[in-house]
Structure 1
Amino acid sequence: MKLKDTKVVVTGGSRGLGLGLVEALVARGAKVTVVARNSDALAAVKTRLGAEVISADITDESEAYRILSEVNPEVLVLNAGAKPPMGRLDQLSWADFSATWETDVKAGLYWMQAALKTPLKPGSRVLVGSSGAAQNGSPLSGGYAGAKRMLWLMAKYANGVSAQGKLGIRFQAIVPQQIIGNTGVGDAGVAAYAGASGLEREAFLARFGAPMPPRDFGEKIVSVLEEAKYADGVVFGLKGDTGITMLEGEAA
């Protein structure tokens, strides 16, 4: 996929990993539209990077259909999500435990459905943000690991729907395999797990090896989009040390 002049929608692209991706896409000449709630953060992105911006609630089903119909992107990146309330299983209320299901999974369902039903044009790519917690669990973040595994599965389900309808839309799950500092979810995880293990922040992050700051994350996503060897993969692991690893290949 050639990203120059390609229309891309990134949810949650005003900060953290999403912002790192927007920076990498803009550097390639992509026509990026960022969707997020915070109007001040969006204004800063527009001023600094020249991206188009839309203030919207990603869990509003009608907004997903409206934005995809108006922008008609060739790439959709579902990056936005809630910062999970942290605590042990015996400490969390149901509202805390289910926060990422009510945001990440609900939004994932609506936007994937909108991509399939609008539909996006043949050859489009939909990247779905998951997490290494989907592989290994996350005992201090409630339902977060399950929510991220569900998004992984939903990307595979969506590929099945696309194939049945001969839509030519490719859904791919993105799995960062380390906690990333200076991001909302990452900093919450660092605080909880470093505290539980009695380590300082930097010592805890060093356990993951080479860091993968947001812009590096963005560059890896650009590689997934641009390099032919990744075109048919379904699930990709991303890590500072090992780069991009295809965790699951072409869907059956």
Structure 2
Amino acid sequence: MDLEGKRIVVVGGSRGLGKGLAEAFVARAADVTVVARNVDAVRGAAERPAVTAISADATDVDAAWRIMEETRPDIVVMNAGAEPPMERIDRIGWEAFTTNWNVDVKAALHWVQAALTLPMTAGGLVVIVSSGAAVQGSPLSGGYAGAKRAQWFIAKYAEGLSAELGLGLRFRVIVPRQMFVGTGVGDTGIRAYAQKAGRTFAEQAATWPDMTPRAFGDTVADLIGRTDLADAMIYAVRGDTGVTVIE
């Protein structure tokens, strides 16, 4: 898939991995729309060439449908999510434990439903950015790990329904299998696990491969452009091993 001129919506694209994705798509001459809740961050995103910025809550079902109808994207990248509360399983309350279910999973469900029901044009691609925590778990953010795994099931159910209804839509999952310095989720996790291990932030960060959000974005953009994500449903991305197929 040549990304030039493709209409791409990045939900949660004003900072962190989402910003890296948006920048990578812009570099490939795509028509990029960034959706984010933070007004100041959205305005910052709008300063980038070829980017349209929309301020909205990714979990708002009405916003998801409205934006999908207005933009009619070829590709939707679901990157929106909350920073996970970090706490031991014996100490965390239910409200904190379900934070990422009420944001990450809820947002993924609404946008996937809009893609299926409008529907997107045949050949449309929905990419959900999950987490390595969905593979190996995360003792200090157990609710987050479960939520990120639930996104896999949403993608699988949607893929099956698309085939059943003959919609011609594809649903794929990208799993960043590392923490990223300078991102909200990454810094939160690194800080918590550094404290648990008796390390400094820098020492804990050094246990992960060196990969920037923009490098992650370039990797994903190249993966979409090269293969259209046709070979499998779930792909892992990591700085030292590149792209690997999970299933």
Q: Which TM class, normalised by the smaller chain length?
A: over 0.9
Query: Shift of residue 229 of structure 1?
Result: 7.2
For the pair 1:86 / 2:96, whether they are aligned, the reply is no
Three-state SS of the structure 2 residue aligned to 1:91 is coil
Corresponding residue of 2:103? 103
Does the CA-based 8 Å contact 2:172-2:229 persist in structure 1? Answer: no
Query: Shift of residue 142 of structure 1?
Result: 3.4
Structure 1: distance between partners of 2:162 and 2:231 = 14
Corresponding residue of 2:221? 222
- 1:67-114 residue CA offsets vs partner (Å, 9 max, x unmatched): 101100000000010001111112211110000000000111111011
Corresponding residue of 1:154? 154
Does the CA-based 8 Å contact 1:21-1:217 persist in structure 2? Answer: yes
Q: How do 1:1-252 residues align onto structure 2 when only pairs under 5 Å count? A: 1-208=1-208, 210-228=209-227, 230-248=229-247
Q: How many positions carry a matched residue from both structures?
A: 247
- Structure 1 residue runs of 5 or longer lacking an equivalent are none
Does the CA-based 8 Å contact 1:10-1:35 persist in structure 2? Answer: yes
Q: Kindly provide the amino acid, as one letter, of the partner of residue 220 in structure 1.
A: T
Does the CA-based 8 Å contact 1:224-1:231 persist in structure 2? Answer: no
Q: Kindly provide the amino acid, as one letter, of the partner of residue 153 in structure 1.
A: F
Q: Kindly provide the amino acid, as one letter, of the partner of residue 231 in structure 2.
A: D
Q: 4+ runs of 1 displaced by more than 4 Å? A: none
Q: Which moved more, 1:222-231 or 1:122-131?
A: 222-231
Query: Shift of residue 202 of structure 1?
Result: 2.2
Does the CA-based 8 Å contact 1:18-1:79 persist in structure 2? Answer: yes
Structure 1: distance between partners of 2:137 and 2:158 = 24
Three-state SS of the structure 2 residue aligned to 1:48 is coil
Structure 2: distance between partners of 1:230 and 1:50 = 24
Does the CA-based 8 Å contact 1:85-1:142 persist in structure 2? Answer: no
Three-state SS of the structure 1 residue aligned to 2:149 is helix
Structure 2: distance between partners of 1:14 and 1:230 = 24
Query: Shift of residue 153 of structure 1?
Result: 1.5
Structure 2: distance between partners of 1:167 and 1:213 = 35
Q: Kindly provide the amino acid, as one letter, of the partner of residue 116 in structure 1.
A: L
Query: Shift of residue 228 of structure 1?
Result: 2.4
Q: Kindly provide the amino acid, as one letter, of the partner of residue 166 in structure 2.
A: K
Q: Which moved more, 1:44-53 or 1:140-149?
A: 44-53
Structure 2: distance between partners of 1:150 and 1:49 = 35
Three-state SS of the structure 2 residue aligned to 1:53 is strand
Does the CA-based 8 Å contact 2:31-2:50 persist in structure 1? Answer: no
TM-score (ref. length: structure 1): 0.96
Structure 1: distance between partners of 2:176 and 2:214 = 13
Query: Shift of residue 179 of structure 1?
Result: 0.9
TM-score (ref. length: structure 2): 0.97
- Structure 2 residue runs of 5 or longer lacking an equivalent are none
- 1:126-153 residue CA offsets vs partner (Å, 9 max, x unmatched): 0011100001000101300000000012
Three-state SS of the structure 2 residue aligned to 1:237 is strand
